[in-house]
Amino acid sequence: MAYSDTEIKAMEADSLLKNELFDQAFTDLREAFIQANEDNPVKDDQMRDKLMLSLQVLKGIRRQIESHIVTGQLENLTMEDF
């Protein structure tokens, strides 16, 4: 059985999220951003905004990877119906 591009992306995304090193990198970055935000002087709004944006981007990357998994699963279910 040949896999579609969507299914291949889903499998690769799933493998990526299950990778311990990748997961640890996300965890480490998230913790570093949070710690930097906590250590940031209250008056430094610009840095706080940058750190919060960094956290948002990190979450967005994970959501995008998860989206590839869901899209592949939906395509797989749709193909099973035929």
pLDDT at res. 3: 86
Q: Measured between alpha carbons, how far is residue 56 from residues 17, 25, 28, 77 in Å?
A: 18, 16, 15, 31
pLDDT at res. 77: 80
* pLDDT band at residue 75 under the 50/70/90 scheme: confident
Predicted TM-score (pTM) of the model is 0.83
Per the CB < 8 A criterion, the answer to whether 73 and 52 are in contact is no
pLDDT tens track for 7-58: 999 999 999 999 999 999 999 999 999 999 999 998 999 999 999 999 999 9
